[in-house]
Structure 1
Amino acid sequence: MEQHLLPLNGIHLNIHVAGPETGRPVWLLHGFPECWHSWREQIPVLVAAGYRVFVPEMRGYGASSAPAAVEDYRLLALCGDIQTALDAFGHERTCVVGHDWGAVVAWHLALLEPVRIQALATLSVPFAGRPRRPAIEILRKVHAGHFNYILYFQEPGVAERELDADIDRTLLAFMQGGNADALFLAPRPADSRLLDGLPAATLPDWCSPEDFAQYRKAFAGRGFRGALNWYRNFERNWQDTEALAGRKVEQPTLFIIGARDPVATLEAFTLERMPLQVPDLRLHRLEDAGHWLQSEKAETVNALLLDFLGQTYPA
């Protein structure tokens, strides 16, 4: 595994690279609260298939820079990091795979780079085009008077005080599939904190102590502020993407979601409308899976990914 600390766009992006130098590039983009190591089950499989794999620690995570300003985490800046990195490595054609927030970046890279991004695979977060108004406005209306985690993340410093106080507890709470409904779906008073009332969590089966140490490393010493700032730009993102309104994702696209993922409930309308905006879509719902698909169901995800790449982006 090579490691590149790449200067770009006023920051440094830490990128892990593996696979034959002649292999076609595949980019793996992680989400929240994750790290490059969340793709540990996919990297060797893709390398064995002949691909050269690029796995960045996204802006705000791990050894990558974490600028202080909230606006430095707007969506087009996050996309710009990957676009500039593609330039630096000389990638004229590539495939992008994204999970969670990494999926959001991947969807928009496909819109911004319709030629360079030849195939797209996204996990957990669907896409149905630019909404008619900023998502944060919709959330404030729908969740007026009760707790919503995205609304809780909006005020800088508030969520950080809770989440940074015990990084291990925070990460374990997100990793535990059994807590998902309590974290994201169960009705709670508006003045609740994210982790209030949650039982102590242990490591899930899909994360060893050695793996967990890598997740912890991504936040130790810096906390969650950079990662949380991704959530604080919904209005800016909506304004910035006006030129993309109505544009469809034309690339061959693989989408995988877990039936037990809270996103499947929260984004049911988006899931229903997604084929209208993604005409070349292969959608798979994994019945016995939650949000952390590439770890929970690594063999299934790997098989779907390799089959998709073999058809649309062969090594």
Structure 2
Amino acid sequence: MVEHRMIETNGIRLHIAEQGSGPLVVLLHGFPESWRSWQHQFGPLADAGFRVVAPDQRGYGSSDHPEDVDAYTILHLVGDVVGLVRALGEETAYVVGHDWGAPVAWHTALLRPDLVRGVAGLSVPPPFRGTRPPLAAMEERYGGRFYWNYFNRPGVADAEFGGDTRTALRKFVYWASGDAPGAGEGRQPLVDPERGWLAAMPEPDTMPDWFTEDDVDALTESFAGGFTGALNWYRNLDRNWELTAAWQGAVVTPPALYVYGDRDIVPAFPGTPELIARLPELMPNLRSRPLALPGCGHWTQQERPEEVNTALIEFLTSLA
């Protein structure tokens, strides 16, 4: 049974969900999600002998939402994971992340390999720091229409997503899923600066079976405090590039697993297909070739829970 409580760490309070006993596995959600994006992983991982903990990360759900944009750098996010592991009475953990949670997991393994027994990323591949600030690079490439640049405009996406939160989330989840028309065709997430992003997304008559209206309700409730905290993660992309200069050329050394959907928009980002193809040579401890899930869109562990659970349990038990 999943239990809930608050943990104080790194100067903030985090809401966590937890189940099971054994080696600690920390599950990190992405945007726009919550701990509940891992609901299909708790039981299987706990039954496999692991202590499973999924926080609402800072700026999300019932956890604290610091007001300062600068409070959402990658160093703060990694610090939250490190502090959480310590607050739970553990010295080491397996760290698994999806979407934005994946860069946090990868960077935790990069910056604190002593703490990470193994790392897995879903959707977003391991970080290899580019030669230019990412927001500036995408601004130039797409004339400011890439969604990172749109999210970087103070208050704009906050208002669009917060205007009708339930409709926004229904549209966004469906649009990025493997069930949406055009998924997997190499499209880029470009935003009309006048109309916004949601206007171009169809509202589905019914949600996919893997994401029910009850799931929509729960996710909507988790954003009762608005989207600004979550969007502040994107507003630190260039700052993160500056802060991680010392790790230019460094690679993730703990045992690693990477899983993605072949209809996911993220692995089609510029340069990402080439990166994924080279991961076996770039990652010294990648335990298997990148696992592509046929027909799966962006919401990896929710769209394909059985395949993800099988891959995670096989990976984790091989290291336990």
Specify the code of the residue in structure 2 equivalent to 1:269.
E
Specify the code of the residue in structure 1 equivalent to 2:284.
P
Checking the alignment, whether the CA contact within 8 Å between 1:149 and 1:184 is kept in structure 2 is no
Specify the code of the residue in structure 1 equivalent to 2:19.
A
1:171-210, aligned counterparts within 5 Å?
171-176=169-174, 177=177, 178=180, 185=188, 189-201=192-204, 202-210=206-214
- Structure 2 partner of 1:215: 219
| 1:279 aligns to 2:284 (yes or no) | yes
C-alpha displacement of 1:3 = 2.0
Checking the alignment, whether the CA contact within 8 Å between 1:74 and 1:237 is kept in structure 2 is yes
Question: Partners of 1:180 and 1:11 in 2: how far apart?
Answer: 41
What is the identity percentage for the equivalent residue pairs of Structure 1 and Structure 2? 40
- Structure 2 partner of 1:143: 142
- Structure 1 partner of 2:73: 74
Q: Give CA deviations for 1:144-174 in whole Å, capped at 9, x if unaligned.
A: 1x62211110011011111100111111112
Q: Name the CA shift for 1:149/1:41 in 2 (closer, same or farther; >3 Å).
A: same
Specify the code of the residue in structure 1 equivalent to 2:117.
Q
Q: Give CA deviations for 1:69-102 in whole Å, capped at 9, x if unaligned.
A: 1111111101111111111122212100100000
Question: Partners of 1:57 and 1:256 in 2: how far apart?
Answer: 22
Q: Name the CA shift for 1:163/1:119 in 2 (closer, same or farther; >3 Å).
A: same
* 3-state DSSP of counterpart to 1:16: strand
C-alpha displacement of 1:272 = 3.2
Question: Partners of 1:167 and 1:179 in 2: how far apart?
Answer: 22
Checking the alignment, whether the CA contact within 8 Å between 2:262 and 2:294 is kept in structure 1 is yes
Q: Give CA deviations for 1:215-238 in whole Å, capped at 9, x if unaligned.
A: 112102x11111111100011101
Q: Name the CA shift for 1:260/1:59 in 2 (closer, same or farther; >3 Å).
A: same
| 1:165 aligns to 2:163 (yes or no) | yes
Question: Partners of 1:214 and 1:138 in 2: how far apart?
Answer: 36
Q: Name the CA shift for 1:188/1:163 in 2 (closer, same or farther; >3 Å).
A: closer
C-alpha displacement of 1:198 = 2.6
Equivalent residue in structure 2 for 1:293, among 290, 300, 303: 300
- Structure 1 partner of 2:9: 8
C-alpha displacement of 1:128 = 4.4
Checking the alignment, whether the CA contact within 8 Å between 1:61 and 1:218 is kept in structure 2 is yes
Specify the code of the residue in structure 1 equivalent to 2:13.
H
Q: Name the CA shift for 1:153/1:180 in 2 (closer, same or farther; >3 Å).
A: farther
1:78-97, aligned counterparts within 5 Å?
78-97=77-96
* 3-state DSSP of counterpart to 1:17: strand
Specify the code of the residue in structure 2 equivalent to 1:290.
G
Question: Partners of 1:180 and 1:148 in 2: how far apart?
Answer: 18
Q: TM-score, normalised by structure 1?
A: 0.93
Question: Partners of 1:188 and 1:88 in 2: how far apart?
Answer: 41
* 3-state DSSP of counterpart to 2:94: strand
Question: Partners of 1:117 and 1:192 in 2: how far apart?
Answer: 43
CA RMSD in angstroms comes to: 1.9
| 1:236 aligns to 2:239 (yes or no) | yes
Question: Partners of 1:236 and 1:261 in 2: how far apart?
Answer: 26
Question: Partners of 2:8 and 2:120 in 1: how far apart?
Answer: 27
Specify the code of the residue in structure 1 equivalent to 2:274.
F
| 1:50 aligns to 2:49 (yes or no) | yes
Name the count of aligned residue pairs.
309
* 3-state DSSP of counterpart to 1:205: coil
Q: Name the CA shift for 1:73/1:287 in 2 (closer, same or farther; >3 Å).
A: same
Runs of 4+ in structure 1 over 6 Å off = none
- Structure 2 partner of 1:103: 102
Specify the code of the residue in structure 2 equivalent to 1:295.
Q
| 1:249 aligns to 2:252 (yes or no) | yes
C-alpha displacement of 1:68 = 1.1
- Segments of structure 2 that go 5 or more residues without pairing to the other structure are none
